[in-house]
Amino acid sequence: MYEYCIPVSIQFTAHSKERMQQREIDLKKDDITIEYLKKLPYYTDNGCTKYLDWKNQVVYYVRKHNKVFKVETIIKTNKIQMLRNYCDAYRMLCVNKYHVRNECKYCKEWDFNLFCRDHLFGTCNRENCKFIHKDFD
């Protein structure tokens, strides 16, 4: 999605492994590869790159340590939290990449308040719902 901040190799810290156990995050670390992370939307906050994994409903916090990218921790989210993270990521991209060129590509399209939260759970029964229905799976 973005052209910068893509890790080359990745390691999991002891802290991230502990958090996976504590938070009952059932992921195979071998499945979390560079190629997998490259496909995920992300944003950077306080020097930490946060990769948003909708499929597993987790956020990977990744930092660079001497040319090696390490997963510092992993948090479990729910669909509404993840949607908010997605909106934040796209708005940050828009502000940092497009606003400097006097363009706006994502701000209106990714306004959290415009999304139908019922649709995220498959429970929207409104005919002609005025909110955005977006599928992430």
For the chain, the domain total comes to 2
Residue 136 lies in a domain: no
Residue 133 lies in a domain: no
Are residues 47 and 88 located together in one domain of the fold? no
List the structure tokens of 53: 């994994």
CA–CA dist 137, 106 (Å, integer): 20
89 to 11, 41, 93, 106: CA distances (angstroms): 23, 7, 6, 10
**What pLDDT, on the 0 to 100 scale, is given for residue 9?**
66
Query: Which contiguous run of DSSP H or E holds residue 79?
Result: helix 79-93
- Asked if 58 and 92 count as a contact pair (C-beta separation under 8 A), the reply is no
Ramachandran region of residue 34, left (φ > 0), alpha (ψ -120 to 50) or beta? Answer: alpha
Residue-number span of the structural domain to which 41 is assigned = 10-76
**What pLDDT, on the 0 to 100 scale, is given for residue 107?**
83
Residue 130 lies in a domain: no
Residue 105 lies in a domain: yes
Q: How far is CA 14 from the centre of its chain?
A: 22
Residue 129 lies in a domain: no
Low-confidence ranges of the chain (pLDDT < 70): 1-9
| Residue found under tokens 């802290």 | 15
**What pLDDT, on the 0 to 100 scale, is given for residue 4?**
47
Are residues 25 and 58 located together in one domain of the fold? yes
Are residues 43 and 31 located together in one domain of the fold? yes
**What pLDDT, on the 0 to 100 scale, is given for residue 8?**
54
Are residues 72 and 14 located together in one domain of the fold? yes
Residue 48 lies in a domain: yes
